[in-house]
């Protein structure tokens, strides 16, 4: 999709969100203006994707389960918008490599470390995938907390509900020191746990309420 078309959709989504959801952001200055960066956000709703995207000017790419959109036309449209389909249930080497290459090219990629939407609005365990990506791509991570998206479109709902939404961006996290001292699963766990802890802090959630990997 061209930059013009993407920009028009971005503007439309932003305008509708501000009018109907009293949409606002905080901490956008923490997102680097250039260079590869991974945005790690809580996942409360399908509405997370457009509502996070219209919060910053950089074009985003999203990691999502491949079985969510099985139909060809929808898949092609979403791929043009930046969706990176990840096959669930096993190590998807192709999708992983695509994400790493995007980050090394200086792109902005969104990952939901929990791996799936929360069924009740609370934070879930962070998976090891975020740690593996960071260790391989050697990129900074910006934690993100989406507040209100669960109320807008909770799991099982078929219609959007009007509810204020706020997207909070935290300070960039650098894991180069951890990458020098740890490796393998231990490294991935440490990165995942620290990222989820920062997401919890942004949302004002008790860290002890977020289970460890």
CATH number at residue 94: 3.40.1130.10
Q: pLDDT digits over 48-70, tens only? A: 999 999 999 999 999 888 777 66
pLDDT band at residue 102 under the 50/70/90 scheme: very high
| DSSP string for 7-40 | HHHHHHHHHHHHHHH--EEE-GGGS-SSS-EEEE
pLDDT band at residue 72 under the 50/70/90 scheme: confident
Domain with 153 in it: 3-209
For the chain, the domain total comes to: 1
- Global pTM? 0.92
Q: With CA atoms as reference, report the closest residue to 31 among 1, 64, 59, 2.
A: 59
Q: pLDDT digits over 142-180, tens only? A: 999 999 999 999 998 989 999 999 999 999 999 999 999
């Amino acid at each position: 999709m061209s930059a013009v078309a993407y920009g028009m959709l971005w503007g439309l989504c932003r305008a509708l969100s501000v009018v109907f959801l009293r949409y606002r952001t905080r901490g956008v200055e923490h997102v680097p203006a250039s260079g590869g960066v991974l945005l790690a956000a809580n996942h409360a709703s399908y509405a997370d994707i457009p509502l996070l995207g219209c919060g910053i000017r950089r074009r985003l790419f999203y990691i999502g389960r491949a079985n969510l959109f099985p139909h060809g036309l929808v898949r092609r449209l979403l791929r043009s918008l930046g969706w990176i389909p990840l096959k669930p249930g096993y190590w998807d080497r192709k999708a992983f490599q695509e994400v790493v290459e995007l980050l090394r090219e200086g792109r902005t990629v969104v990952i939901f470390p929990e791996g799936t939407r929360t069924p009740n609005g609370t934070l879930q365990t962070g998976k090891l995938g975020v740690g593996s990506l960071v260790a391989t791509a050697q990129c900074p991570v910006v934690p993100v907390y989406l507040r209100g998206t669960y109320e807008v479109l909770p799991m099982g709902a078929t219609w959007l509900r009007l509810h204020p939404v706020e997207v909070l961006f935290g300070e960039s996290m650098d894991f180069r020191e951890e990458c020098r001292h740890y490796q393998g699963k231990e490294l991935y766990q440490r990165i995942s746990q620290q990222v989820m802890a920062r997401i919890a802090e942004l949302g004002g959630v008790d860290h002890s309420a977020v289970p460890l990997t």
